[in-house]
Structure 1
Amino acid sequence: MKVAIVGGGLGGLSAAVTLAKAGAEVKLFEKNDHFGGKMMPVDEAGYHFDFGPNTITMPEVFQDVLRQGGLENELSFTKLTHHTRNQFKDGTTFDLSSDRQYMKKQLYHLDKKGFENYDAFLLEIERLFHLSQKYFLHRTFSGWKDYLSPSLAKGFAQVRPLESMDHFFRRYFSHSGIIQSLNRYSTYIGSNPYVTPATFAMIAHLELNEGVYYVPGGNTKIAESMARAAEKQGARLYKGTRVEKILTHNNQATGIVAEGNTYEADYIIVNGDLLKTVPELINNEKRPSLSNKKLRSFDPSISAFVIMAGLDTTLPALHHHHVLFSRDYEKEFASLKKGDYAEEPTIYIGTSAKSDSALASERDNCFILVNAPALGHSNEVDQEHYKKRIYEDLSQAGLPIQNHVSYEKVIGPEEIENRFGAYRGSLYGPSSNRRLQAFMRPFNQSQDFSNLYFCGGSTHPGGGSPMVVLSGQNVANKILGKIVHTE
C-alpha cells in the first residue's frame, strides 16, 4: 500500500512513523529545507532559536511516536516546575507553576478568592481535560454523522461549551492579572478568551497539573527525532520538494505531482493548513464539500509578530518563559478582531538559554512574540516602528533587551503565510472564536475523495503541538483500520 504525505510538519511525521511501521510504502514531501513545520530551528551568530513551539506539554505524546519508530531513548524532556513569569504594568508578578503549594502561597497574597478556590479549580480543569481526552482527542471526523454519536453528545454537554474561558476563570479568581494570565491560554489555539469556549481551559491542566517541559538542545530536536524515526521504519522523506498537484479520478485521489514528477498513491494525507493547501492542489470544481467559498467562511486564528533577538549578555530579570501583559487585554483582542495590531500588545519572551546555556554560549536568546491579526483585512504595520514599540515597552518594564541586541531577525504574518503555507498567516488554522467552529473544524477525511485525509492544526483535534501529533496518529490509525497487513 502506497501513502503520499503532503507536508512534513509534526502531524505528517507522526502519521509517517505509524504507517511505515505497519508496512506501508510511505513517501513524505516537504517544501521547506527542514521537517517540523513551524517547529523550525533558527541557528544564527551562535544563537539557537525555536521558532515554535517554545512551551512543550504532554511529552508522552511525542515519546509514543518515537517508541513506535524505535527511538524510545532518543530524547529527554526536562520539566520546568516554576515555568512562566507573568509581569504586569504595575510591577506585580505572578509565576505559573505545577507546584500546587507554591501557587497557593502566591494566591494567598494576591487573590484570596483564588487561594480558597485553587484546589477546586485544579480538579475542574483536570475533569475538562480527561473528558476531552476520552471523547475528542483520539477520534477522527469524516462527516456530520460523526457528531451524532450519543457518547460524543454526552461528552460535549459536560465540557462547558456555552461558557467563555474568561467567564470560567472568573468563577475561581478575582485578581485581574491572574485572570489575564489564565486567559492567555486561549492564544495557544490562536483565539480570543472572551468568546472561546471554556472547554479549552483544559490547557491550564496541562501546565498547572502536569507541567511544562523543554528539550535540551532545543525543542526542534522533537521534529528532527520524529523524522529519523520515520526513516528508520522505512519512510522516504523528501525536503525542499514542493507538491504542485493532487491527482484525482472520480471520487479517488490517485497520486501527487511534486517538482514535475508523478507519484501514485492509494492514500494521500495532507498535513498543512488545509484552508490554503487544498485550493492550491485541487481544482475548485472537484471539491464541492471544501469549495473556495466554504474555506473562506472559516474565521482564521491570530497570527504573530516575532523578533528573534540574540543578546550580548544575560539579563537576570528575564525568565525562561516571561510574559509582559498589556493593561487592557480585552481591548487588545478587540483590536485584533478588527484587523489591527494592538497599540499596547502583550509580549511573550522565550529565552531557552536560561535553562540550557549551550543554546547561546552564556548569552540570552530571546524569542519575542506578540499577537498579530490574520492577513487580509488588517491594517498594515510599519515593522520597524512596531519593533521599537515592543522594545520600549520591555525597557520600561525593566527588561532592556534593545540595549544588548547583537543579532536580530523579524518575522511577521506575511512570512508565516509564505514559509509555512498558513492561511492568511494564521498560526493554528480556524480559530475557536465561533462556538460551532471551535468544535466542528474541517473533517479529517475528505467528503469528496474517500482516500484523502487531513491532519495538522487546521483539522481535528486542533492546534498545538501535541494535538497536531495526535491528529497524525488518528489519521494513520483510521487508514490502518482498512488494511490487513501480513508479514
Structure 2
Amino acid sequence: MKTIAIIGAGLGGLAAAVLLAAAGNKVDVYETHSYPGGKMKRYHVGGARFDFGPNTITMPQVFQSVFERSGADPNDYVQFEQIVDHTNNIFPDGSQFLASSNRAKMLQELERFNIHSSDYDRYITAVTQLYNHSSNQFFTRSFSSLKEYTSLRLALAFASVKPFTKMSQFHSSFFKDERIVQMLNRYATYIGSSPYKTPATFSMIGYLEFVQGVYYVKGGNPTIAEAMHRRAKELGVQFYFNKTVKKLKTANNEVTSLVCANNQEKSYDQFILNGDYTTVYPKLVEKQNRPSFTLDQLVKEPTSSAFVILAATSQKTAASFHHQVYFSQSYEYEFYQLFDEKKYPEDPTIYICNSSVNDDSAVSHTGGDNLFILVNAPSLTNENRTLDKEQMKEKVYSILEQRGVLIRPYLIEDKVVSPKDIEAEFQAYFGGLYGFSSHTTMQAFNRPSSKTKDFQNLYFAGGSTHPGGGSPMVVQSGINVANLINNHK
C-alpha cells in the first residue's frame, strides 16, 4: 500500500483519488477551496443556480468509467441525460442552425443551407477517424517515458490526425457556406484557442457532438464532481478542504513531504499536483530543484480566458435552448483581436447556457432563466487588466438586446466573473482556462506529461497537462496518473 497526497480536488484529482483508493492505497486530498470540482463550481445568484466551468458535457463514458473501475454502478452516483437538439447557432444575418446528434434533423437543417447530405457524411467520416486515432493512441498515454514517444503506432496515428492542417481549413474543405464553417470553428474555443491557428486534430469535437452526443446532469454539472467526491470518501480517501499547500520539500530526486499554509508538514510516498501546471509547479517547488521547468515554458502563449455573466431573470427570455451561440460578423477578426492584439473583441461572439430549459430545479425560486453568458476574452496583459467589468457587462447586454434577447427588463440579479477573477481563484496561467494554447504543433501535442522528469514520485493531472482541456480530458488525465502509480511495482 502506498501513501499518496493529491494537491487539488479538481476533476483530475478526484478521478485519481477514486482509482488509487480502489486499488488499496491510502490517499489524502488537499484543496484550497471549500468544495470539490475546481472550475466545475456552483454559484447561486438571484435565487437561481448556475454552473461555472464546463457547460457542454460530452464523453459520459469517461466519467462513468471511474465509478465502474472502482467497483460501483455509475448510475447510483450521477445520471447523464442527452440533449439531442443541443445548440442553436444564430448568425449575424439572422439565420439560425439547430445542431443535433440526430442525423435526419441535421440533414434537414443543412438542406436549408443548400448543403448536400454527402458533404455531411464525408465530414462525419473524417471527424470519426480523427477521434478514433486520438482516442486509441493519444488520450490514454501518459508520455512518462521515451518508449511512449517513439512508438510506431503513435507515429502513424500522429500522421493521421492532420497536425499541420488548420481547423478552419479542414472545415472549409467540406462546407462552402461560411456560416457552417463558423459554427464548426467554434470548437477551437473548447480548448481556448483560435481555429485559424489550431491543428485540425481538434475538429474531432464534431464527432463528439454530432455522433456521441451532448449531455447534461440533473442538479447541475458539478454533481459529477460531488459524485466522485462521495465515491472517494466511501473508499477511505481523506479530504482536507480550505487547506492550502504552500511548498513541496525534496531530496535525492524525490518529493519527501508537503507543507501547508499553517506550516503543518506531512510525508507521503507519491504526490500528484492537480492544478495549473505552469503556476502551481513553480510555486511549490524551488527553482533549482525543477530543471525540466524552464523559462521557455513561461513565455508560451496562454489559452484564451472568459468574461462570464451569471444572470437570473424573473421570466423566460428568447434564449430558449440549453445552448445557444450568437456569432460575430467577422470570426477571423475576433480571434485576431483575442490572440494577436490581446484585446476584447469589438464584436464578440456570445454563448449562453440556459440549463433551466432541461432542469427547472435551477430556477425553482424565480420561474425565469439562469443565463450563463460567456464572451471569449484575451489572456491577461498589463494593458487589459484594467477592464471595466460593468461597462463590458452592459455592452454584452446591449448586443444581446439587438439580437432579440432582452435581459435587463427582467433581471433579478447578476454576477460577473472576469479573467482576473479566474486567475486569482484558480491560479490560472495569465487567466487562461487551459494553460498553453494549441497554436503550435509542440503546444498542441507535447503538453506537460503525467509525470515530471525532475522527481521519481511527482505526477500531474489537470487541463493544462496531457491530454488537455475539457472535462472528459481532465478526468482522463487523472485516470492516466492512477494507472501509472497503480502499475508501478
Q: TM-score, normalised by structure 2?
A: 0.96
Deviation at 1:317, TM superposition (A): 4.7
Corresponding position of 2:347: 344
Q: Distance in 2 between matches of 1:404 and 1:450?
A: 57
Q: 1:378–1:24: structure 2 CA closer, same or farther, 3 Å change rule?
A: farther
Corresponding position of 1:373: 378
CA RMSD of aligned residues (A): 1.2
Q: Distance in 2 between matches of 1:411 and 1:230?
A: 30
Q: Distance in 1 between matches of 2:64 and 2:371?
A: 27
Contact 2:312 2:369 in 1 (8 A): yes
- What residue identity is the alignment partner of 2:122? A
Q: Which of 364, 368, 380 lines up with 2:369 in the alignment?
A: 364
Cα deviation code 1:33-84 (max 9, x no counterpart)? 1110100011233211000211100111111112344352211111000000
Corresponding position of 2:472: 466
- What residue identity is the alignment partner of 1:180? Q
Question: What SS does the corresponding residue of 1:225 show, helix, strand or coil?
Answer: helix
Contact 1:318 1:399 in 2 (8 A): no
Contact 1:143 1:447 in 2 (8 A): no
Q: Which moved more, 1:312-321 or 1:142-151?
A: 142-151
Q: Which of 269, 273, 281 lines up with 2:272 in the alignment?
A: 269
- What residue identity is the alignment partner of 2:37? G
Deviation at 1:143, TM superposition (A): 5.0
Q: Distance in 2 between matches of 1:107 and 1:327?
A: 21
Cα deviation code 1:295-341 (max 9, x no counterpart)? 31321110000000000111145311011000000001000112111
Q: Distance in 2 between matches of 1:215 and 1:112?
A: 33
Contact 2:89 2:324 in 1 (8 A): yes
Q: Distance in 1 between matches of 2:146 and 2:296?
A: 15
1:229 has 2:235 as partner: no
- What residue identity is the alignment partner of 2:412? S
Q: Distance in 2 between matches of 1:364 and 1:229?
A: 32
Question: What SS does the corresponding residue of 2:39 show, helix, strand or coil?
Answer: coil
Corresponding position of 2:39: 38
Corresponding position of 2:356: 353
Deviation at 1:377, TM superposition (A): 5.0
Q: Distance in 2 between matches of 1:442 and 1:37?
A: 19
Deviation at 1:90, TM superposition (A): 1.1
Contact 1:20 1:233 in 2 (8 A): yes
Question: What SS does the corresponding residue of 1:471 show, helix, strand or coil?
Answer: helix
Deviation at 1:227, TM superposition (A): 0.5
Equivalent residue pairs, number: 481
1:425 has 2:431 as partner: yes
Deviation at 1:237, TM superposition (A): 1.0
Contact 1:29 1:239 in 2 (8 A): yes
Cα deviation code 1:145-203 (max 9, x no counterpart)? 53222111111001111101100000111111111110000000001000100000111
Question: What SS does the corresponding residue of 2:208 show, helix, strand or coil?
Answer: helix
Q: Which of 286, 291, 294 lines up with 1:283 in the alignment?
A: 286
Q: Distance in 1 between matches of 2:83 and 2:404?
A: 23
Q: Distance in 2 between matches of 1:143 and 1:297?
A: 25
Cα deviation code 1:355-388 (max 9, x no counterpart)? 1111112310000001111113552322111111
Structure 1 vs Structure 2: percent identity of aligned residues? 45
User: Which runs of 5 or more residues in structure 1 are unaligned?
Assistant: none
Question: What SS does the corresponding residue of 1:136 show, helix, strand or coil?
Answer: helix
Contact 1:190 1:301 in 2 (8 A): yes
Corresponding position of 2:397: 391
Q: Which moved more, 1:314-323 or 1:126-135?
A: 314-323
Deviation at 1:144, TM superposition (A): 5.4
Cα deviation code 1:80-129 (max 9, x no counterpart)? 0000000012110001100111111111121425x431011111111110
- What residue identity is the alignment partner of 1:88? F
Question: What SS does the corresponding residue of 1:94 show, helix, strand or coil?
Answer: strand
Q: Which of 290, 294, 299 lines up with 2:301 in the alignment?
A: 299
Contact 2:45 2:311 in 1 (8 A): no
Q: Which moved more, 1:457-466 or 1:397-406?
A: 397-406
Question: What SS does the corresponding residue of 1:400 show, helix, strand or coil?
Answer: coil
User: Which runs of 5 or more residues in structure 2 are unaligned?
Assistant: none
